[in-house]
Amino acid sequence: MSTAAILMMLLFIIVIWGGLVLALITLIKHPDETSGILGEHDFATDDVLIAQEHTS
């Protein structure tokens, strides 16, 4: 393998694994339960949503 090929391989390994690490850190800081349109709204609790599912 040439030096250029090894450098490109290392660069893209860092980019891919770095993206994975960044995504995991973002998910830890902003979990799905507190993200999105409803966020931490009172009507977005599991109990309220389950009750609405059974009544429709």
pLDDT in tens, 14-46: 999 999 999 999 988 887 766 666 666 777 777
47 has a pLDDT exceeding 70: yes
Residue 48 CA to residue 42 CA, distance in Å, equals 9
**What is the length of the chain?**
56
54 has a pLDDT exceeding 90: no
pLDDT at 20: 96
1 has a pLDDT exceeding 80: yes
